[in-house]
Structure 1
Amino acid sequence: MSELRRLPARIAGHLAWRARRAGTVLADRFRRGDRTVTMTPPVGLRFGNWLYLWLQAHESSAAGQPWLVLEAPGMADWFDAFPGLRELTVARDEVRFHDRRVWGERFWNQKFGEEFSRRALDAFIADVLAPHIPVDDSDTVVVNVRRGDYYAQDHLRARYAFDQAGYIADALERIGPAARIRLVSDDPEWCRKHLGLLLSHHADEVVYEPRGAVGNFLAVSGSRKLIGTNSTFSYWGGYIAGVLHSDAQIVMPRFHARTERGTDAYHLDPSWTIIDGYH
């Protein structure tokens, strides 16, 4: 235990969660309650990842098989924006002994067309998310650039980093000229410095969104024209935009991460424009 305490908090928290999971495997085989709980780790997943778990809970519950997602730190920030998510979530002290447990981790219900269907996805969006998202029917192109820990931490950079400037230049050509671009990112200053000239060549006006995570998500998911990057935040923006707009234009990179299974994203909607390369 003393060695575990010396590790960085996020790593230590995840290892402790894995140890608890291993310790309950035998007991889980005998749980026969009438509802299932997805046991989320305390660190490692964020809003885009959680949405795939809530999607699974929504689909199963709608089919008459109650399913909830264990509340994790950070979830509460999203409940005010999307109240229906709270109804699909259970606090740790409200988990019953006989609740069936599901410990994900490998794919986390993120494989489009295999672990979830378009029908289930659209129903979840229509019921839980879309009613709370302002719809932007203009020709504004929203560009969502994920930076953050993907580029700040060496081990994540090695896994997720790619040529964002080259990809975005290609994506802008695919989507066509625009009067206005809204740049949404967790690092707008980097984008202004490294993408500003490129963006200004494709639009008369470029706006850098200053808002936080919730505001950024509303801007991305309400858009009709979206260029995303290799992030579940972008993917969910694309899913939702496709429900809100029958003529949505969604561009995403095929690259997601360097893993033992390859580099292609398994989250992508095949109706999107998918760009290869740049990694």
Structure 2
Amino acid sequence: MCAHDLGRGEVDQVAQEWRSRVERASVPHVPVHELYAGRAFSLARKTAAGAGADLFVLSAGMGFVKHDALVPPYNLSVAPGTDDCILRRSRKLPFTASQWWAALHEPARSQPLATLLRERPKALLVLAATRPYIEMVKEDLSSLTASQVTRLRIVGLTRADALPEFLRPSVMPYDDRLDDAELGLQGTRFDFAARALSHFVGLVGGDDRIQSPQDHAKRVRLSLSKRRAPVRVKRERLDATALQRRIRTLKKAGESKTSALSKLRRDFGYACEQQRFFSAWEAQ
């Protein structure tokens, strides 16, 4: 159940093959939350539980599913630079993440985010996602009505211009000040969206009613105005060959995958995204 095992073709062909494999998967199914063991998802689960809110997963492989839905283990992403990026399975013309999202929901071409807001007319939907995943659901978000948009908040996207203009007020103005030590939410770019989610729910979770996107954005700005972004240490980025060499050395030293990444960054001073490192680690 890995994207790199799929044949190449047009987006609808690739999506059909993927759906067929999911339907035929004979391996034991597990809750979605068991497949996501990193800090980002753990923090999202803790935040949702603390707020008494439902937690859904924006999955490039399974669609929009509740965190406890049973699915076969899989590896498929729309994040570039990974072996299992589904966008690499095109034969000729590349397809986009949003085209993949639409094809994944064939034949109904459903729009799950719009459906969720329609089914829950009093709910606030807080969407914590990185830019590749926001790009994936951009057409779904573009289908929202004006009243639905007032109940949407997007955290983790630092540049609102990635979205159509009418959606931009829904993007909460988070930046590197979220890493101020006094907030206790320091982390990496990989878990930035989950950390912003935690902060935002802490700000507005106790409200009796849903305020406007502008009011919520003002509260975020006011909270961050008291914070300072830490000075970033510039690290050298390893090419693929050098990264593999470092991983072999760390494995021989008996390091675990997580501790090896920490050592690579902290002790050796190299830059490496978590997903890229973990993919390279598994490939060794």
Please, what TM-score do these two structures have when normalized by structure 1?
A: 0.26
Please, what TM-score do these two structures have when normalized by structure 2?
A: 0.25
Higher strand share: 1
